[in-house]
């Protein structure tokens, strides 16, 4: 029995010695990370441009309470401009330098509106730990109604929807 055990042990030792030992190793490979970015500007909700109460034939122009349209754009985007629609009855729109200018008629009263860009606040760059933020560009929207207008008889507050369009 000892001879059998010795032969078996010798055979196991011989087989174990013929198995190659495992070695630690690494392999590396390079790859590209890609993206195709479409730049965008969005507009936050714009408040009302309110002229208040206009008294027919008043001797002074009526100034509206200004409102602000804040754009959030892709960082570093250049060539952003704005203009008003011309869909409202009696409305016009044009670009004057960097401002958007427009006119319209509401309750029989002619008015002028202007959107003037403010200073862009730069967004923050993305990092591995945090997402970045877009650039912020405010547009101040102001308006005036000339003096000595008759208007058209109407009851209550009259409203006209206008659109500010941003081009980039």
Which residues, including other chains, have CB under 8 Å from residue 59's CB and lie 6 or more apart? Answer: 147, 148
Assess contact for 30 and 85: CB atoms under 8 A.
no
Using one digit for the tens of pLDDT, what is the confidence trace for 9-42? 555 555 555 666 678 899 999 999 999 999 999 9
pLDDT tens digits, 67-91 = 999 999 999 999 998 999 988 777 8
The tokens for 97 are 């330098």
**Is residue 69 within 8 Å of 81, Cβ to Cβ?**
no
pTM of the model: 0.77
DSSP state of 121: B
pLDDT at 161 over 90: yes
Which band of pLDDT confidence, cut at 50, 70 and 90, is reported for residue 97?
low
Nearest Cα to 39, choosing from 70, 78, 69?
A: 78
Instruction: Say if CB 67 and CB 49 are below 8 A apart.
Output: yes
Rounded distance between C-alpha atoms, residue 103 and residue 115, angstroms? 12
Q: What is the pLDDT of residue 19?
A: 65
Give the whole-number percent of the chain exceeding pLDDT 70: 86
């Amino acid at each position: 029995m000892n001879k059998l055990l010795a032969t078996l042990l010798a055979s196991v030792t011989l087989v174990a010695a013929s198995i190659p030992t495992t070695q630690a190793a690494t392999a590396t490979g390079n790859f590209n990370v890609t993206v195709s970015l479409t730049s965008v500007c969005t507009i936050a909700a714009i408040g009302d441009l309110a002229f208040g109460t206009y008294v027919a034939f008043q001797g002074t122009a009526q100034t509206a309470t200004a409102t602000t349209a804040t754009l959030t754009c892709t960082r570093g985007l250049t060539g952003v401009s704005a203009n008003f629609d011309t869909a409202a009855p009696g409305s016009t729109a044009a670009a004057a330098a960097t401002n958007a200018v427009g006119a319209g008629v509401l309750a029989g009263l002619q008015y002028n509106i202007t959107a003037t860009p403010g200073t862009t606040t730069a967004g923050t760059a993305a990092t591995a730990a945090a997402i970045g933020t877009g650039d912020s560009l405010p547009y101040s929207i102001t308006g005036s109604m000339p003096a000595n207008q008759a208007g058209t008889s109407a009851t209550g507050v009259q409203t006209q929807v206008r659109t500010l369009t941003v081009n980039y």
